Chain A
């Protein structure tokens, strides 16, 4: 399952970065594309804005077929305070921009990607392609919520993958 989660994250991050290279985030002093998986980062009460935060929530496994089919719910949260130069009056536009970027990234073809094993990947070491694909459904966009000047939305997408022989 971890391979599928990693593969989906890397795919979504690269698609979002291609759509809007200017959307970046500073994590532990390093500038990165503006997409992160919360469970992979240091716990923090601070909510990074103008970035996409992934959480893996629901999980179902169906072992009726020759390969167990795993369905994972990915919750994607994003928020914006607007820009200070505009007195936060552009927060609706900025949230709409993030909506559009996420819809485009998840709606772009193909809606699948080869599953990769990132366990041994690192500097100079590429991830290893596996035998099946990770695929996903259309995203469901939740209602936008407003707290003071902050606008926030949570979208969810079902991500599917087959558990391959020997894969944990």
Chain B
């Protein structure tokens, strides 16, 4: 059987027209210093509603602004000086945006530093800005009933009575003196000394991004609305309830994530901007959009500075990759 290729007409290429930008973030392995690289050649046409793992869909964003801070200076020689070439004297890039939703990850990214879970406090806890001493955590049962999964937590019937539909939960290991980056799945804080965190057994759960919302409770099992970011809970993990999230101005930790921003074009073309390493460059900030007086919509504002990676194809040190995928049968 032979295949015949006909000379199909090619339409002139036009500037991409897009109505909005969708953001995806993936964790950077902070301990190893390894970002998540996105290969547009392999995955560039992915379904915007189902990004490839480990990319996390942050939803549509507004005010997406890329700034190139790269400086190119003239290289002069002779008298009088004549420009004989150019040299890059500095390479820098920043990104700013506003998230359209207030989820745990969006709040974290926009906070700039470590972002804490407001764990339910123990009775009589001394008031504290990021939450007082937390109530005792609830262990995940093993060997009794179904095994816990990324979307169901087996805490047993007695403990389950302490939860209700709508409860927010943080699932992670106990703090037992670990130093350095903590948080299962995604590094969410950096512990310099055990004394700094007061040896708090709940500290990892206080900062973890491994959180969920309970949508059903049955036979001692908490069913979650969506899978935990860190996947199936590991041995030793416990569950703490929380009431919300908190971030601070002036903390020491820098959030660092891999970023991917997609602009779907109206002609089926697509622009993808990938920053393998983005570090937060501002503290927690909001932008207000007036709806109708006195109502305002409050959006989380994030700003990030790109850090370098080496392109394996040629060893060049770069900050970001912009890829363009033309529509079918377009002039190039």
Contact = CB atoms under 8 A, between A and B. Distances in A.
Interface of A: 65-67, 69, 111-112, 131-133, 135, 137, 160, 162, 164-165
5 contacts: A66-B14, A111-B266, A112-B268, A131-B329, A162-B267
Interface stretch (B5-13, B174-182, B201-209): B5-13
Q: How large is the interface on B (under 10, 10 to 19, 20 to 34, 35 or more residues)?
A: 10 to 19
Contacts of A135: 17, 266-267
A111 B19 contact: yes
Interface centre among A135, A137, A165 (most CB of B within 10 A): A135
B267 to A, nearest CB: 5
Contacts of B327: 133
B11 A132 contact: yes
Contacts of B12: 66-67, 165
B32 interface: no
A132 B326 CA distance: 12
Contacts of B15: 65
Contacts of A112: 266-268
B12 to A, nearest CB: 4
Contacts of A66: 12-14, 331
A119 to B, nearest CB: 17
A162 B9 contact: no
B11 A131 contact: yes
B268 A133 contact: yes
B contact patch SS: loop
A70 to B, nearest CB: 12
A29 B13 CA distance: 46
A48 to B, nearest CB: 32
Interface of B: 9, 11-15, 17, 19, 266-268, 327, 329, 331
A74 B326 CA distance: 29
Give the top 9 A-B pairs by smallest Cβ distance, nearest first: A66-B12, A135-B266, A131-B11, A112-B266, A133-B267, A67-B12, A65-B14, A67-B14, A133-B266
A69 B16 CA distance: 12
A8 to B, nearest CB: 13
Contacts of B13: 66
Contacts of B9: 131, 165
Most buried by A among B9, B15, B267: B267
A162 B268 contact: no
B14 A160 contact: no
Contacts of A162: 11, 14, 267
Most chain B CB inside 10 Å of its own CB: which residue of A65, A69, A131, A165:
A131
A135 B268 CA distance: 11
A160 B14 CA distance: 13
A160 B19 contact: no
Contacts of B267: 112, 132-133, 135, 162
Nearest to A164: B11
A141 B11 CA distance: 35
Contacts of A131: 9, 11, 329
A2 B97 CA distance: 39
Contacts of A160: 17, 266
Contacts of A69: 14
Nearest to A66: B12
A23 B268 CA distance: 32
A134 B13 CA distance: 15
A127 B47 CA distance: 28
Nearest to B15: A65
A67 to B, nearest CB: 5
Nearest to B17: A135
Contacts of B268: 112, 133
B62 to A, nearest CB: 14
Given A132-B11, A165-B12, 13 more contacts: A66-B14, A66-B331, A67-B11, A69-B14, A111-B266, A112-B266, A112-B268, A131-B9, A133-B327, A135-B267, A162-B11, A165-B9, A165-B11
Nearest to A110: B264
Contacts of A65: 14-15
B305 to A, nearest CB: 32
Contacts of A137: 19
A154 B7 CA distance: 46
A160 B18 CA distance: 12
Nearest to B267: A133
B93 to A, nearest CB: 28
A67 B17 CA distance: 13
A25 to B, nearest CB: 31
A4 B12 CA distance: 18
A162 B13 CA distance: 11
